[in-house]
C-alpha cells in the first residue's frame, strides 16, 4: 500500500494540518508520500521531508500551481495517482475544494472528513453535523479521503530528512484564474491549530468589544480568537473566525466560550476540545451542558477579571 498525502501549506511554510494528515495516513498502513504543490514552495517541501513517517516528498513547483486552484492541482494529482493505492488530504477549505475533483476524475467515491481509521478500508466519518458517526467500508480499488486534522496527532519531526524530488506538472486545464485574495492578517495563532481559543458570541455586541474585551485575554494566553455564527453574521469579526459546523471544526486544549449560547451547529465545531470553559449570563444556556467549567456571569465583568488573573499569574 502506498499513500499520497496532499500537503496544506503556504509555500514558505508547512501547515500543521499536513503533519496530522501524515499521521492519519500512517494509520492506514503502508508507505506515505507527500505532494507539495505550489509556486516557490521548496521550503514547505523541505519541512514535509523532515516529518516522521514520510518516505518521499514530491515537489511540484510552478506558476500554474500558485494559489492552488482546484483544476490544475487536481490534474497534477490525477497524473500521479496511478502509483498510489490511496490519496489523502486534510479537509481544509483547500483540500475540500480539490479532492472531490480528483475523486471524480478517478471514478472513486470520496470519503469526506474522516475522524477515525479502523483499517485499510474502514473509516469513521461524522454525518448530520457530527450528531451521528458513520463507519463505512470503501469498495473502490483506490481510496480518496479527506481527514479532519483535529482528530489526529501531528507527525513528529524525524531524525533524518528524506530527499525532495521534483515531479512534472501537467498542462493547466485553464478553467479558472486567480483574481485576488483578501486574507485576514493576524499576529495571533491560526484558529485551526491553536492550543487555546478564546471565542465570543453575539453577547459581545460589537466589533470593538471583541478587541477591547476578548483580545487582551487571548493575547495574554497566546490564544487564537474564534466566534459563533451569530457574531460573524452580525459583522463583529470576519467569516474565517467562525467556529462550527459551517465554519472551522477545532479541538484545542482549552476552549473558552464567552457569551456563546451553544447552538448545535456551534457545538459541532468545538465539542472535541480537551477542556471547555463557558462564561455566560444565562444559567440555562446549552453551552453549559458541554462545558467542563461553567461560570454564570456577565462576560463584560468576568473576562477582564479572568484576564487580570492570568496576567498576574504570567508575571509571577
Report 60-119 residues binding another protein (CB under 8 A): 67, 69-71, 74, 92-94, 96-105, 107-113
Any contact of residue 209 with another protein (CB under 8 A)? no
CB 57 within 8 A of CB 33: yes
Q: Minimum distance from CB of 97 to another protein (Å)?
A: 5
Residues that contact another protein, how many (by CB under 8 A): 91
Query: CA nearest 291: which of 265, 263, 271, 268?
Result: 271
Q: Which of residues 6-35 bind another protein (CB under 8 A)?
A: none
DSSP string, 280-292: ES-TT-GGGGT-S
Q: Minimum distance from CB of 55 to another protein (Å)?
A: 27
Nearer to another protein, 8 or 32 (CB): 8
Q: Minimum distance from CB of 170 to another protein (Å)?
A: 14
How far apart CA 171 and CA 298 sit, in angstroms, is 58
Query: CA nearest 19: which of 2, 37, 1, 32?
Result: 32
Handedness of CA 6, 12, 15, 19 (dihedral sign): positive
Nearer to another protein, 157 or 275 (CB): 275
In this chain, which of 13, 29, 55, 122 binds another protein, going by CB under 8 A?
Answer: 122
Q: Minimum distance from CB of 176 to another protein (Å)?
A: 4
C-alpha distance from residue 123 to each of 78, 126, 281 (Å): 23, 10, 40
Q: Which of residues 262-291 bind another protein (CB under 8 A)?
A: 264-265, 271, 274-277, 283, 288-291
Query: CA nearest 44: which of 78, 17, 73?
Result: 17
| Rg of the chain taking only CA atoms, in angstroms | 21
Q: Which of residues 179-208 bind another protein (CB under 8 A)?
A: 179-184, 192, 196
Nearer to another protein, 226 or 294 (CB): 294
Q: Minimum distance from CB of 177 to another protein (Å)?
A: 5
Grid coordinates belonging to 4 = 499520497
CB 197 within 8 A of CB 243: yes
Any contact of residue 253 with another protein (CB under 8 A)? yes
Nearer to another protein, 49 or 146 (CB): 146
Any contact of residue 292 with another protein (CB under 8 A)? yes
In this chain, which of 134, 156, 206, 212 binds another protein, going by CB under 8 A?
Answer: 134
Q: How many CB atoms lie within 10 A of CB 222?
A: 12
Matching residue, cell 496532499: 6
Nearer to another protein, 12 or 93 (CB): 93
Amino acid at each position: 500500500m502506498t499513500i499520497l498525502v496532499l500537503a496544506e501549506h503556504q509555500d514558505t511554510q508547512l501547515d500543521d494540518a499536513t503533519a496530522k494528515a501524515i499521521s492519519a495516513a500512517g494509520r492506514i498502513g503502508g508507505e506515505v508520500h507527500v505532494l507539495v504543490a505550489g509556486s516557490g514552495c521548496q521550503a514547505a517541501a523541505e519541512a514535509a521531508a523532515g516529518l516522521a513517517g514520510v518516505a518521499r516528498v514530491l515537489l511540484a513547483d510552478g506558476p500554474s500551481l500558485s494559489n492552488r486552484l482546484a483544476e490544475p492541482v487536481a490534474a497534477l494529482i490525477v497524473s500521479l495517482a496511478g502509483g498510489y493505492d490511496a490519496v489523502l488530504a486534510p479537509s481544509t477549505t483547500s483540500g475540500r475544494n480539490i479532492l472531490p475533483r480528483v475523486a471524480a476524475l478517478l471514478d472513486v467515491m470520496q470519503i469526506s472528513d474522516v475522524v477515525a481509521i479502523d483499517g485499510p478500508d474502514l473509516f469513521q466519518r461524522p454525518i448530520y453535523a457530527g450528531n451521528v458517526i458513520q463507519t463505512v467500508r470503501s469498495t473502490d480499488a483506490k481510496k480518496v479521503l479527506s481527514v479532519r486534522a483535529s482528530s489526529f496527532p501531528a507527525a513528529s519531526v524525524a531524525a533524518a530528512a528524506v530527499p525532495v524530488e521534483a515531479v512534472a506538472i501537467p498542462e493547466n486545464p485553464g478553467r479558472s484564474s486567480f483574481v485576488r485574495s483578501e486574507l485576514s492578517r493576524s499576529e495571533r495563532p491560526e484558529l485551526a491549530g491553536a492550543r487555546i481559543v478564546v471565542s465570543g458570541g453575539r453577547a459581545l455586541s460589537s466589533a470593538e468589544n471583541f478587541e477591547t474585551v476578548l483580545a487582551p485575554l487571548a493575547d495574554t494566553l497566546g490564544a487564537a480568537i474564534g466566534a459563533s455564527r451569530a457574531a460573524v453574521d452580525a459583522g463583529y469579526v470576519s467569516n474565517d473566525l467562525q467556529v462550527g459546523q459551517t465554519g472551522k471544526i477545532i479541538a484545542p486544549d482549552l476552549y473558552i466560550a464567552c457569551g456563546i449560547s451553544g447552538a448545535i451547529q456551534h457545538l459541532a465545531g468545538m465539542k472535541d476540545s480537551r477542556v471547555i470553559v463557558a462564561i455566560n449570563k444565562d444559567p440555562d444556556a446549552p453551552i453549559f451542558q458541554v462545558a467542563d467549567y461553567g461560570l454564570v456571569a456577565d462576560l463584560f465583568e468576568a473576562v477582564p477579571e479572568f484576564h487580570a488573573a492570568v496576567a498576574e499569574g504570567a508575571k509571577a
